[in-house]
Amino acid sequence: MAYNVLKGFVEGSVDQYADQEIGGVKVFKNTISASVFYDTDAQSVCATLKDVAVREIRGGGAGCVLISQGDSAIRAETLLTFKGDELIARNVRARKFIGSAELLTDIPSNQFNTPIKASHVAHSRGLHDVRGSLQVKVAEGLSIGDDGIQISLNSSSGLLINNQKLTVDPTISKNIDSDGQNLSDSDLLLVSDISRRGTYNTTLHNLYENYIKGKMPTPAGAVNEIQIKAPDGFAATPSLSYDMKKGLLKIEGKTRTTQLIVEEAIICHGAVTKNVKMISVSEYEVGPDDYTILCDPEAHKKDKTIVTLPPACNHPGRILIIKKASANRYSIKSGIVIIRSPEAHIDINSEMALKMNYSCRTLQSDGKNWWVIGKAGT
């Protein structure tokens, strides 16, 4: 066996124990092992593979942010990049953002935890900044309350809010004569002009002269003639007039009325005509138009005519004339006429009889009973 032992400095060999510098570029074809490698420029021990946290960078491009993959490899994320002072990402989720956020857009207003200052909100006309709060500008007649913008209404303005609409209600306004005054020609009314589709005002004088007056029928006839409604307005006739100076009503013709009340006196310069009726039935109730009733008991087989008077209580002052008038004026047995008042008396009895032909009774009611105020025959 042969041994080659070198002692001292041997050029080109590495001393295992002493410090030694190796100059130039050395290419090692095999693995170099050492307990430690030292970086003389950095003046520190070099890291070995087991001391390196990142051994591989995957994917990526310029400006990509490196994302840990959970092992010794990292990934350069193309969807998360950084350029200068700008971090670019599609979506960002964070528990808190700190800063002015002046470039943020499309942020839902209901996602803020505290009120946004008015100075940070872009707003249009009609809004303004009041001590950091954004408020609506209100003009005269408007106010802002907890429920929003409100119209300031006078309690007697005639206006009110009904079903969220401003309406006109004349019942809550003052009466025109409340302050001792009343309507005048210069007072104004509001008019909705349909043709011009607008609202205009007009004076009462203009309303009367140019509208109402033209709609009113003009009087017809001469002075004092009473106006009568005609198909197309008023009509008049000289036969019906009233003289206001004399207090005289003039009627040339017939007058018909259901009741005529004269408080003083009736002066008649002509004939007075009253209703007269001939009856030939066995029983008859006096009608509302009856005045003189002529009864013929022989006109029927019973030879007796019963005339029932109307209730005295319903006809105070009424006068009736009832006469027996048989057609056979010479007949001795011409029947009788019985006059009855079921609910009142005729004088002292409830009925009376006319036996002789052509006998009669004139009766008048006092509102309680009937009284005989004139008679002829028995």
pLDDT band at 332 (very low <50, low <70, confident <90, very high): low
pTM greater than the 0.85 cutoff: no
Which has the higher per-residue pLDDT, 80 or 142?
A: 80
What is the SS3 string spanning 208-253?
A: HHHHHHHHCCCCCCCCCECCEEECCEEECCCCEEEECCCCEEEECC
Pair 370, 364: CB distance under 8 Å: yes
Average the pLDDT over 192-201 and give the result. 93
Pairing label, strands 336-340, 304-308? parallel
Tokens of 190: 């509001």
pLDDT category at 1 given cuts 50, 70, 90 is: very low
Distance CA 126, CA 100 (A): 26
Q: Which of 138, 164, 141 is nearest to 152 (CA)?
A: 141
Residues of the chain with CATH 2.60.120: 276-376
What the block records as the tokens of 66 is 């490196």
* Residue 2 binned pLDDT confidence (cut-offs 50, 70, 90): very low
Q: Which residue bears the tokens 């070995």?
A: 48
11-48 tens-digit pLDDT: 556 666 666 666 677 777 887 777 777 777 878 877 67
CA distance 322 to 285: 12
Model confidence over 197-233: pLDDT tens digits?
A: 999 999 999 999 999 988 888 888 899 999 898 888 8
Residues 6+ apart with CB under 8 A from 162: 169
pLDDT for the residue numbered 6:
44
* Tens of pLDDT, residues 265-287: 888 888 888 899 999 899 999 99
Distance of CA 368 to the CA centre of its chain: 58
Tracing tokens 């309350």 back to the chain, one arrives at 145
Average pLDDT, the chain: 84
- Is CATH 2.60.120 what the domain over 276-376 is classified as, yes or no? yes
